[in-house]
Structure 1
């Protein structure tokens, strides 16, 4: 009787472990397309993404690069000081989108140009995503607005 209870307990524990492993595997499989990695322009140039890979590109909108096309299509360059990536976007830009400001765009590389499906809005004119700040600091081009008097 005692050995049967012990064997049953081991079976239940083993079954729970297998169920946990299967559920973690299914969650990982379901999220594989939902995870969008952040990259700076220098990272995109040095290690180009694979075809069809959706990721976030962040940096500063390069001064003088904004060109409005037909309709709602715009093109501009995103830079981190070390490299720049050409971007095209069709849609309504956030109100605070401007040259020289931080931007995060989600999309994929198409023929050497980043085709954005979404331009992420900023909270205010001084907001910059932490990933962009980190990338700019890594390049040595980040200027803290508080220290610069802005």
Structure 2
């Protein structure tokens, strides 16, 4: 009887391990873009990733860098105060996208230009993604919204 209990316990453990491996594999195959890294413009200029790597870049849209091309083509530069990365994008932009505003873009670095497949902009006047805030704080460019309002 003890041998049967031990055998049943081993079967349950093996089944649990197989189920966990299968669920991880299904997640990894179904959502490969969920495991993207965030990089600041400084990180991208100092240590450029390979052209095959999809990642997110965030910072502020540099003032005076926004250029609209043919149709839905647009180019601009993203900065964190230290590094500047040119970005090209084809598609519709969020309504709140603009120069001097926070942005997060998903795409790949091709020949020194970040080719974006998705552009996200902040959704109101006070929100900025945490990764962008952290990158701007590292460069000394971020001012807390309450502090900025107090100086005006």
TM-score, length of structure 1 as denominator length = 0.88
Q: Runs of 4 or more off by more than 6 Å in structure 1?
A: none
Aligned match of 1:102: 102
Please state whether the residue corresponding to 1:147 is helix, strand or coil: helix
Q: Which runs of 5+ in 2 are unaligned?
A: none
Q: How many residues align?
A: 149
Instruction: Please say if residues 57 and 106 of structure 2, whose CA atoms lie closer than 8 Å, have aligned partners that are also in contact.
Output: yes
Aligned match of 2:54: 54
Instruction: Please say if residues 102 and 121 of structure 2, whose CA atoms lie closer than 8 Å, have aligned partners that are also in contact.
Output: no
Report the RMSD for the aligned CA atoms in angstroms.
1.9
Aligned match of 2:14: 15
TM-score, length of structure 2 as denominator length = 0.87
Please state whether the residue corresponding to 1:97 is helix, strand or coil: coil
Aligned match of 2:89: 89
Structure whose residues are more often helix by fraction? 2
More moved, 8-17 vs 104-113: 8-17
Residue by residue over 1:58-105, the C-alpha shift from the partner in whole angstroms, topping out at 9 and shown as x without a partner, is: 000001111111111111100001100000111121111111110111
With over 3 angstroms needed to count, the CA separation of the structure-2 counterparts of 1:123 and 1:47, relative to structure 1, is: same
Distance in 1 (alpha carbons) for counterparts of 2:10 and 2:128: 53
